[in-house]
Amino acid sequence: MQVADLELGALRELIAGDGIGLDFGAARARVRADAPGFAEAFRFVYQGFEIGEPAGFFDVTVRLRRAHGLRRYLRPQVEFVADGAAVFAPFPAQTHLPLLEWGMNFLFAERLGFHLLLHAGAVEFGGRAVILPATPGSGKSTLTAALTASGFRLLSDEFGVVRFSDGHLLPLLRPIALKNDSIDVIARFAPQVAIGPRFPGTRKGTVAHMAPDSYAIVNRHVAALPALIVFPRYEVDSDLRIEPVAKSRAFGRLAVNSFNFELLGPEGFDAIGRLLQSCRCYQVTYSDLEHAVEAIKRLASEPLH
């Protein structure tokens, strides 16, 4: 049974009780929550995911818990709890879904150290993985969402998960977090996609989440061979520019945009080296999403060298 198949009241009761298991591909999570309004937002952005049993092994076990005392009534707050302990200071109760997503990102970055973890969007086209590493504000999530809406398979909005054994990219499939102006940009670019409720006033401004499509969910255990690394850069009113990036320079940029490169030591060094051997590297500067998507589609379709 998928999340969307469950009546809202039943879903609310299930999540507030034993919780549900979610399979993201490279990791699994058990989620519980009793925050008002959470079940409605969760149901929309996780609509195509199967409802798993809340038993067995999970990489993370989390709960959104309403703050006690006066905080239940005066400026209500919600806490992100992992394995029984609060991880962050409480957030305003109305920002429950962004807190869940940020909290799980934090935990996955800590706990999936048996893979190389890049801070990157990741998509697949024609069996080839495209990695989009970028610093905040570079348009990574917006471009990842646009690619996903244009025939690319979403692997992850936040993590490039590189398997050590063969260098393949693993899906860590979750909703795409869109912020501020990018919400309307994607809504206009791809009106067919499912964008959940907006959460104003977060630490990153207004946030909304784009639900993964059914094809990405069904194939969340299908790895992809990395073939292309694109460093995106959004510039207002700029022409499209596609510039090759030397692999020596790309190495440093990947290392900086990794959650665990330094912790891995020589293993991380070798993993990035192997990744670059199989990939061509470019910087794509853009202002027009459609032009950027078509350029990346052409690059991903070129013969492998």
Using CA atoms, how far residue 76 sits from 15, 67, 85, 88, in Å, is: 20, 7, 19, 16
Residue 72 has pLDDT above 80, yes or no: no
Would you say residue 52 has pLDDT above 80? Answer: yes
Last residue of a domain, one of 78, 111, 144: 111
Last residue of a domain, one of 90, 111, 132: 111
**Could you tell me the pLDDT band of residue 66, with boundaries at 50, 70 and 90?**
confident
Residues 127 and 256 reside in one and the same domain: yes
Same-domain status, 86 and 134: no
Would you tell me the crossing angle of helices 181-189 and 289-301 to the nearest 10 degrees? 70
Where is the domain boundary, 66, 96, 111? 111
Residue 83 pLDDT: 85
* CA-CA-CA-CA torsion sign (26, 151, 279, 223): positive
Q: Which distant-in-sequence residues (6+ apart) come within 8 Å of 114 by Cβ?
A: 164
Tens digit of each residue's pLDDT (9 = 90 or more) over 154-165:
999 999 999 999
Clarify whether residues 87 and 134 are in a common domain.
Answer: no
pLDDT tens-place string over residues 200-255: 999 899 999 999 999 999 999 999 999 999 999 999 999 999 999 999 999 999 99
153 touches 225 (CB < 8 A): no
The pLDDT of 2-16, averaged and rounded, is: 95
Indicate if 140 and 185 belong to the same structural domain: yes
Q: What is the pLDDT of residues 54-64, one digit of tens each?
A: 989 999 999 99
Residue 73: the pLDDT is: 60
Q: Tell me, what's the pLDDT at 184?
A: 97
Strands, DSSP E only, in 27-115? 28-33, 60-66, 77-82, 85-86, 91-92
Q: How high does pLDDT run on average in the chain?
A: 94
Q: Structure pTM?
A: 0.94
**What residue numbers bound the domain in which 84 lies?**
3-111
Pair 139, 52 in one domain = no
User: Domain check: are 171 and 95 in the same one?
Assistant: no
Please, are residues 226 and 279 in contact by the beta-carbon 8 Å criterion? yes
Residue 182 near residue 193, CB atoms below 8 Å: no
Q: 134 and 32 in one domain?
A: no
Answer yes or no: is pLDDT of 69 > 90. Answer: no
Please tell me the distance from the alpha carbon of residue 279 to that of residue 246, in angstroms, as a whole number: 11
Strands (E), 172-267: 176-179, 199-202, 205-210, 225-234, 241-244
CA 133, CA 76: separation in Å to the nearest integer? 36
Judgement on whether residues 66 and 150 belong to the same structural domain of the protein: no
- Total domains in the fold of the chain: 2
Instruction: Give pLDDT tens digits for 74-129.
Output: 678 999 999 888 898 889 989 999 999 999 999 999 999 999 999 999 999 999 99
Regarding whether 137 and 255 lie in a shared domain, the answer is yes
295-305 pLDDT tens trace: 999 999 887 65
User: Residue 71: its pLDDT value, please?
Assistant: 55
